[in-house]
Amino acid sequence: MTETILDLAEITLRELNQTLQNSANGAFRVTNPRGAHAVAAGLHTDVEVHIDGSVGYYCAGMHQVGTVRVEGNASTGLAENIMSGKVHITGSATMSAGATGNGGLVVIEGNSGARCGISMKGVDIVVGGNVGHMSAFMGQAGNLVVLGDAANDLGDSLYEANIFVRGKVASLGADCIEKEMRAEHVETLTRLLAEAGMDADPADFTRFGSARELYNFHVDDIDAELAARSTGA
């Protein structure tokens, strides 16, 4: 497929994103991104976007459909609120990659910083390296796959998302526990590794999930609750 070249040294970011959003399909190559923010944001048609170089904040934010590939690194909020489609970077991402994502696939070949997958709601995220602290914080649905290590407080306040880690975990967050790797989880992990182009054995991973204690009411706590209300605490 012939690529249309969009050079950020010659056009504005607004013109770039408007061109992409107005295109029903096709392939585009973005040159000279030079760390620009919000590159290829809000895509809602089936286009392929290839970015030659590193990008700044919120690259591919609000991604609805299509594919974005970054040959380089990305700053805060990569693919924030992704709904569908695929976002793939060859380098590393800083904080909050895939935050609040509802669907789709985010692939980070390098490392990802703190709060990777924060409040994920159905997105699948595959990280070839390590993830920073509080990754998958308040994760509600979807899968976070980490081929490297995970920093402190992994899965803090987790709901129903799955976390698969091949390396070491510095510490688990509140209500996150190690869980059994059943056949359906192996199947999911195998599929995600293949889709991400990652060469790894699912047998080397440990699954983590919610202990389901934080969001369940326990009748044993009623006396303490009533006492707190009566004192205005």
81 CB neighbour count, 10 Å cutoff: 20
Cα dihedral 54, 139, 189, 152 in deg (nearest 10)? 70
CB 95 within 8 A of CB 132: yes
- Nearest in space to 153 (alpha carbons), one of 116, 98, 206, 100: 116
Per-residue pLDDT of the chain (233 residues; tens, 9 = 90+): 699 999 999 999 999 999 999 999 999 999 999 999 999 999 999 999 999 999 999 999 999 999 999 999 999 999 999 999 999 999 999 999 999 999 999 999 999 999 999 999 999 999 999 999 999 999 999 999 999 999 999 999 999 999 999 999 999 999 999 999 999 999 999 999 999 999 999 999 999 999 998 866 565 665 665 566 666 65
The string of DSSP letters for 192-230 reads: HHHHHT----GGG-EEEEE-S-TTS--GGGHHHHHHHHH
Domain assignments of the chain as residue spans, ordered by start: 3-230
pLDDT of 224 reads 63
**Which residue is listed with tokens 């061109």?**
19
- Could you tell me the pTM of the whole model? 0.92
* CATH architecture type of domain 3-230: 3 Solenoid (2.160)
The neighbouring-strand residues paired with 181 are none
pLDDT of 214 reads 82
Distance CA 87, CA 26 (A): 16
